[in-house]
Structures are given as structure tokens and as C-alpha cells.
Amino acid sequence: MKITRIRTGSIAVALRKPFKTALRVKDCVESNIIAIETDTGATGYGEAPPTGVITGDTNLSIVGAIQDHIAPAIMGMEIEDFEKVTAKVQRAVIHNSSAKAAVDMALWDLYGQLCGLPVYKLLGAARRQLETDITISVNAPDEMAEDAKTAVSRGFDTLKLKVGVDPALDIARLSAVRDAVGSGVRIRIDANQAWRPREAVRILNGMQEKGLDIELVEQPVIAHDLEGLRYVRENSDVPVLADESIFSPADALKILEMGAADMLNIKLMKCGGITPALQIAAMAEVAGVECMMGCMLETKVAVNAAVHVACARQVVTRIDLDGPVLTREDPVLGGAVFEEKLITLPDLPGLGITGFEPNRVNYR
Ligand code: MG
């Protein structure tokens, strides 16, 4: 199975509600699709959204990295030489983790098709169904309590809340949500680097003293402050999950060596694809550290690839893959089935994406 052509294109998928964070507001998912064609007629699909505020990757940088560096490095190679091909992708250009992720997942798609097996089965087949959490958007406490109740009535039993702008308001929001849903629902929070280490410990311990029962806190301190991350881990009652602090497998190694976090958040767009994600998962497994699988604002092509990794490895114990639930439509054919909190993989070879609705991908 020889690589004969690598195409890049763009796609836009409307969201149900505008996606608001401290950094941006989006009303649709805009992303880059790649299609790797082979001499057997098999096509592998990948995706890279331009999440500039997190990864530094833009539409132009993603397309440029693929067209100028990655595609020339692997063109004409055989999928049978899988290890060599995936290594070339990682070495073709530095940084550009989203572009690498798109190509790497398309190659795994082809490798699975070559072997006649779904990728999650090739990689371990721990399970074929996951349960994801759901993010409750930041609003007034009453509105968040209503949104939380609605989510629970839809069957979600793990809620994720963004915190970090105003500690007093955070406590009011969390209290409103906890009161609304009762004690049987898990609440995890993401501070997105908002706090200083001592401040984080004070806020987190205050939350637990109020009985908010926080399951875990994502990235309480600034990304590069691993000592600070470890300080929070050692001095608060809330388990610490590293997100912005861990992009690459080398980052994971450092955090694990330092004992800086209780858990690692793996995202394909941060680490550069399925191949590096597996390296992180393997290290975490050896260190006895559990992982979360997360995603950016992505269409089902990339989220589906993350589902395969999460289904493959038992060390992935927490799932934050609510992306496709947020979109109003799904022009991506095949792949994982998303029904509220349940995500189920079909038994199709490769990653199982079979194509797109007509005229939805604008190939260059
Ligand atoms: Mg996060």
C-alpha cells in the first residue's frame, strides 16, 4: 500500500451554541481535513483544527507544514513500513503538532485498513465503548445550575466546569451546581493556568471544606511551572491533572519524573498524533499515573481518532470528548457513534471514517 497523493482541504461545521472561553468565541468548528490516497484505492483521513491560542497552529501553518515538509517526506512510502513512515512525520518539521497529528492519524487509518482491523483493536482493545463528561458553560450560577440539571437528566454523570476568573464567583457557581445535582454526580474543574500555586491550594482546599467534592482540577497553575504544579498536588486535597503543561512525550517524562501531577491529559493536537499519544500512555502506565483523553474544538474525524486511543488503553480512565455533542450537524460519515455520554466504536477497519457529505470538504 503505497502513498500516492496527500490532499488538504477545509471544513466548517455549525455549533448548537456559540463556544465561549476567556480567549475566544466561535460559532462553528473550522478545521483542516487531510486525505492520504494510496495505490490500492484505500484512503486515510486526518484532521487538524487551527487552535492558535493553545497549540500555536493556524490554517496556513498547518497546510504549509503538511505541503512543504511532511508530505514530501512520506510521499511514495509503503504503509507496510509503518514505523518508518510515522517516524518521518515526527521528524519532518519541528513543532506543528496539529499538522503531525492529522497526518499520523490518517496513516493509522491506512495501517488499520491494511491489517483489516479497527485501530483500537490493533492497539489493545481494552473496550469499545466510553463515557464522556460534558462541559457546563460559564454563566450566572442559576443558569449553570439549570444547565447542569439538564445534563444530568440527559444521562451525564460527570460535569466539567471552567473556573479561574473570580474565586468568589467560582465558589458560588460550583455551589449552585453541586446543590442542583446532589452528591452522586462527579464535578471536575479546569482552571486553565489561572492561579498561583499557594492561591490554588487555598482555593481548592476551601472548595473541599465547603463540601463541593471536586473530583480533580485541571491545570491550576501556569504551564511551565512544574514545581508549582507539584506544590499544588502535594498540598491540596484535589487530584491535579496536567493539561497545558504536557504537550509532547518528553513533557510527560519530565512531569512523571518530578511527580508533578496525579494525572495527564492527552490530546492528539498537543502531542502530534496517535503515535506520540501511545508513548505518553505507556510511560504513564509504568509510572502508575492515569490519563484523560481530551480534544480541541474538532469535527468527528479527529475526535474519533482520540476515541480509538482511549478505547485501546486501560490507563485512559477519564474521557473529555464532548466535542461532537456540541455541533448542530455531522457531515462526517462513519466513525464513533455519539449518544449523549456514550461513545461507541463500530467494527470498521482503520479508524472507520468512510467519507463526508457531498461538497462539505473544500480540497485545495
Ligand atoms: Mg484543559
Q: What is the mean pLDDT of the chain?
A: 96
What integer pLDDT is reported at residue 317 of this predicted model?
Answer: 98
| Cα 270 to Cα 2: distance, rounded to the nearest angstrom | 28
Element (H, E) at 259: none
Query: How many Å lie between the centroid of ligand 1 and the Cα of residue 244?
Result: 7
CB 271 within 8 A of CB 283: no
What integer pLDDT is reported at residue 17 of this predicted model?
Answer: 79
Task: Supply 60's cell numbers.
Answer: 496556513
What integer pLDDT is reported at residue 118 of this predicted model?
Answer: 98
* Cα-based angle 321, 168, 238 (whole degrees, multiple of 5): 50
| pLDDT tens, residue by residue, 294-324 | 999 999 999 999 999 999 999 999 999 987 7
What integer pLDDT is reported at residue 117 of this predicted model?
Answer: 98
| Cα 132 to Cα 336: distance, rounded to the nearest angstrom | 13
Strand ranges inside 77-223, DSSP E: 129-131, 134-136, 158-162, 186-190, 214-218
| Cα 105 to Cα 139: distance, rounded to the nearest angstrom | 36
The structural domains of the chain, ordered by start, are 3-116+359-363 (3.30.390.10), 121-356 (3.20.20.120)
The gap from C-alpha 269 to its chain's centroid, in whole angstroms, comes to: 7
Averaged pLDDT, 196-215: 97
| pLDDT tens, residue by residue, 267-296 | 999 999 999 999 999 999 999 999 999 999
CB 309 within 8 A of CB 104: no
pTM: predicted TM-score of the whole model, two decimal places: 0.96
Query: How many Å lie between the centroid of ligand 1 and the Cα of residue 19?
Result: 15
Query: How many Å lie between the centroid of ligand 1 and the Cα of residue 295?
Result: 9
341 tagged catalytic: no
Catalytic residue among 162, 270, 300, 341: 162
Length of the chain: 364
Around ion ligand 1, residues with a beta carbon closer than 5 Å are 190, 218, 243
267 tagged catalytic: yes
Catalytic residue among 121, 267, 300, 341: 267
Query: How many Å lie between the centroid of ligand 1 and the Cα of residue 318?
Result: 13
What integer pLDDT is reported at residue 326 of this predicted model?
Answer: 79
Q: Is pLDDT above 80 for 193?
A: yes
CB 9 within 8 A of CB 287: no
| pLDDT tens, residue by residue, 132-181 | 999 998 889 999 999 999 999 999 999 999 999 888 999 999 999 999 99
What integer pLDDT is reported at residue 281 of this predicted model?
Answer: 98
Query: How many Å lie between the centroid of ligand 1 and the Cα of residue 52?
Result: 15
Q: Is pLDDT above 80 for 19?
A: no
| Cα 221 to Cα 76: distance, rounded to the nearest angstrom | 45
What integer pLDDT is reported at residue 21 of this predicted model?
Answer: 62
Q: Is pLDDT above 70 for 22?
A: no
**H-type alpha helices, 164-299:** 167-181, 197-209, 226-235, 249-258, 268-271, 274-287
351 Rama sector, left if φ>0, alpha if ψ -120 to 50, beta otherwise: alpha
Query: How many Å lie between the centroid of ligand 1 and the Cα of residue 175?
Result: 21
